[in-house]
Structure 1
Amino acid sequence: MKTRRQFGHAVVLACLSLFALSAWSLDAPQERIVLTVTGKITEKNTPDSARFDMKMIEALPQHTFTTRTPWYDQPVTFTGPLLSDVLAAVKASGTTLSATAINDYRISIPLADAAQHGVIMARLLNGKPIPVREKGPLFIVYPFDSKAELRTSVYYERSIWQLKALDVQ
């Protein structure tokens, strides 16, 4: 169960992310698109979506954590923007994200997970860009070692690699 302090920290983190991104505008991608966000968003750079190239992802505030996962033998370090920052950049509203991978794997992620658990959209693995063959270029990752409740199949399944699209519902 969450304590009031933990909930308060999550709210402060979400507010700071929104404040930091309020001056950030969504320009048109100049390079290969790595992420498309659709659905209940108000900040777009096409008529019906927000598209990001890797430089746009890199321009968002970056965060790093090291955690153990079921996919690697040793703890690994992930770096990328908070998922909540990506959602703030597109001014998302809704309750659920439908995340889609390059191979069309789909998973639903509660929007609340982004702020509540400090989920990141990793672009670096141990300080290096993540190749497609190694689960990249984008990988939604939970900080599994931070809370025992995250070390379950529910959250492992939500950690989608080779992410290509988010639909906010």
Structure 2
Amino acid sequence: MVHSTPLNLALKVLRHTFEQTLAGQPPPTLAELLANAPDSLHQLGQKFQLLPFEQGILLLCAALELEPNFQTLCAEVQGNPKATYATLSLALALFPEADWSVLSSQSPLHHWQLIHTEAGRWLAHAPLQLDRRILCYLLGTPDLAAPLVPWLTPLPRPSDTLPLSPTYQALSQQIVTLWSGAA
């Protein structure tokens, strides 16, 4: 049984968007699509200043990773049985509030490498792929960059700590406060 998580609900609305587009009917708006989106998608939108259209692209790319039947829907909407992937052209067809600014290398999707496009194709028709870290974040399982893992593993507290001088105690407390986000 599939759980009714916000991500699953958003994917259901996205599937309806595909179906409406294929039927020649007006698809749901991005506001309707994003109303059921998980908090993690909204947080990405805030942190990276994503337009609703860009959030829709992230959801579209996540759908392809999570549910294989979206590949068939992509091919049907694009009118090409081999086009079983997301493209900017597909997103422009699905979402009425499309914004061509996402084509820019300075758009948050590209600048922050939230998605990747296949080189050597026309930009609007190049396959889009969601970055693994973003997919994991949307699923609630953050993926640390492999080179950083050794640096981010907490060290055990030494049992024989020496007392710090008052100056170093104050400095260490400032560091703890900054790192804990309490500043």
TM-score, normalised with respect to structure 1: 0.29
Which of structures 1 and 2 has the larger relative contact order (alpha carbons within 8 angstroms, sep 6+)? 1
Q: Looking at secondary structure, tell me which structure has more strand per residue.
A: 1
